[in-house]
Amino acid sequence: MGVLHALKLGLLLPSKRAVFQLNRVKTKDFLTYLVLLNVLISFPNGVRLISKSISSGEFGKESLLILFIYPSFIMLFGTIGIFLLASIGVLIRAVAKRKLVYQLLWKMTVYALTYPIMLYTLFDVLGITQWALNLVLLVLFLVIFLKMILIYPRIRKGMDG
């Protein structure tokens, strides 16, 4: 099961069945999936950095930066990005009056990013990097995320207050 199951769920979103199965993914598998998405998004640029460094003869000096610091920054900024996108989910949850906790919104954010990250990486490998493309990928994420949130039931009157 594991990470491949997590990937399958990410690819099946925003189907109702996949959304409800997200909460059943083990934390270990979820965190591995999160790391793999970060590796995927950083891979094309990482390869470019390594090849540029090798061709300039500076790889020995720059290897620490490229192999350790760059991936660390990708994980840090990826986590911050997920935090910000999950915060948007908190606003959507409040407006839509859905029964969701922040931890699940955070998890849903990661899985909703599956298609946008895969497409971003593909376009990056092909050398297609436009701000409008990034905007389209953000809209794709928001559509998937919104559909996922709206699957959850509304808060009934009198329950939380």
Residue 103, pLDDT above cutoff 80? yes
pLDDT digits (tens, 9 = 90+) for 130-143: 899 999 999 999 99
Residue 49, pLDDT above cutoff 60? yes
Give the pLDDT band (50/70/90) at residue 160.
Answer: low
Q: What is the mean pLDDT of residues 93-116?
A: 94
Give the pLDDT band (50/70/90) at residue 26.
Answer: very high
pTM beyond 0.85, yes or no: yes
Write out the DSSP string of the chain.
-HHHHHHHHHHHTT-HHHHHHGGGS-HHHHHHHHHHHHHHHHHHHHHHHHHHHHHTT-HHHHHHIIIIIHHHHHHHHHHHHHHHHHHHHHHHHHHHTB---HHHHHHHHHHHTHHHHHHHHHHHHTT---HHHHHHHHHHHHHHHHHHHHHSPBPPTTT--
